[in-house]
């Protein structure tokens, strides 16, 4: 009887039209070949195409690029195909002069790929591209179906390579890739913080002390002190990070483990850290942050800056979901919507929070003890 019912329901399904099936086939090609866009993107970054276009005054023809990049002239038609794809996907813009010569220009995306150039507080993001498209990450993603069939807790990355993404042992496993990953982490964490200071500066007004948890080389802490000189900033990070930071006297550095202790301060900043960790680990980290600050009446708070998945399918929604799957593949973390964040704050022992502002995919939270 059940089989007959299912058969009857199947007969009621609406069969796609021929036009819809043809579009479906095109979509199938697109999804199956998305990695070609990623590889073309990586190729352009490794060749230095964005920086070259910038150095040529912001517009470059294919012959200009071939000459400036010292490529064999025979590669021009192949470069045309790569640039055509990347222009279609928004990495570059293309225009025609008298319908003869195509000139390629930078878009907001490729402005972020200029070597050694920070654009309005956004450091070069080339290392993020190289890390995300590295063999280590691609191989981990390629093993997803096998990973799903294993009863393992480790991420696909750790399960495959035997090391975690930012673990100290990664440096021994592959020093060159470890350097790229850490550079990518630093540029990712520091990107856009000047916008936070401009848009959410009230968060830091009146503070006397602040601990930047996992603050890396102190770029963010130095920006805070420059904007608010009265704040005494301490940067907490692992010994292998702190030991490599040159002394400059602007902020204090402390080597430690955020799971064990966070240096006391009126406020703790934890920026683009928690999405690398499971909910349970986030609660442990936040519990240490809560111990480090005074009561809410005394101005105590934790400032959390992290990705907030927007369920309204806004302009950054697909990027947020891609980042979520990336966290699943490469770490034990995930991207969270506001409800997820609220639950974690509550379970970590905080009394209340406020989502101060959403800046692109990132949310700026003020969390109260």
Closest CA to 305 of 261, 329, 341: 341
72: exposed, middle or buried (C-beta count within 10 Å: 0-12, 13-18, 19+)?
A: exposed
Annotate 197-206 with b (16+ C-beta within 10 A) or e (fewer).
beebeebbee
| Angle of CA points 11, 14, 19, to nearest 5° | 135
Q: What is the DSSP letter of 164?
A: -
Provide the 3-class DSSP secondary structure of residue 209.
strand
Of 136, 275, 276, 317, the active-site residue reads: 275
The question of whether 122 is a catalytic residue gets the answer no
Q: Outline where DSSP puts E strands in the chain.
A: 59-61, 92-97, 101-106, 209-213, 232-237, 252-255, 267-271, 301-307, 352-359, 362-368
Closest CA to 309 of 282, 341, 279, 333: 341
Q: What is the DSSP letter of 302?
A: E
Catalytic (active-site) positions: 275
């Amino acid at each position: 009887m059940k089989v007959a019912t299912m058969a009857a329901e199947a007969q009621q399904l609406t069969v796609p039209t021929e036009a819809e099936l043809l579009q479906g086939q095109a979509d199938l090609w697109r999804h199956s070949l998305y990695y070609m866009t990623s590889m073309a993107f990586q190729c352009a970054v490794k060749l230095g195409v964005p920086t070259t276009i910038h150095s040529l005054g912001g517009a470059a023809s294919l012959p200009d690029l071939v000459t400036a990049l010292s490529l064999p002239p025979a590669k021009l038609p192949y470069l045309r195909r790569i640039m055509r794809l990347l222009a279609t996907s928004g990495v570059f813009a293309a225009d025609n002069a008298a319908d003869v010569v195509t000139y390629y220009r930078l878009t907001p995306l490729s402005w972020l790929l200029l070597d050694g150039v920070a654009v309005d507080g956004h450091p070069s993001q080339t290392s993020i591209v190289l890390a995300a498209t590295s063999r280590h990450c691609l191989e981990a993603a390629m093993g997803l179906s096998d990973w799903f069939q294993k009863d393992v807790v480790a991420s696909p990355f750790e399960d495959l390579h035997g090391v975690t993404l930012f673990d100290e042992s990664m440096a021994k496993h592959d020093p060159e890739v470890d350097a790229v990953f850490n550079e990518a982490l630093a540029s990712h964490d520091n990107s856009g913080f000047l916008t936070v200071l401009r848009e959410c500066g009230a968060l830091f007004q009146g503070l006397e002390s602040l601990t930047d948890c996992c603050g890396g080389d102190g770029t963010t802490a130095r920006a805070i002190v420059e904007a608010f000189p009265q704040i005494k900033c301490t940067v907490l990070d692992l010994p292998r990070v702190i030991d490599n930071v040159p002394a400059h006297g602007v902020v204090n550095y402390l080597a430690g483990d955020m799971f064990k202790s966070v240096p006391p301060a009126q406020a703790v900043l934890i920026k683009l850290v928690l999405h690398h960790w499971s909910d349970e680990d986030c609660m442990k980290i936040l519990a240490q942050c809560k111990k480090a600050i005074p009561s809410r009446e005394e101005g105590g708070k934790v400032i959390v800056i992290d990705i907030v998945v927007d369920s309204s399918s806004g302009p950054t929604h697909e990027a947020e979901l891609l980042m979520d799957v990336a966290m699943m593949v490469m770490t034990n973390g995930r991207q969270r919507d506001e409800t997820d964040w609220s639950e974690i704050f509550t379970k970590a022992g905080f009394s209340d929070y406020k989502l101060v502002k959403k800046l692109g995919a990132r949310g700026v939270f003020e969390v109260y003890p």
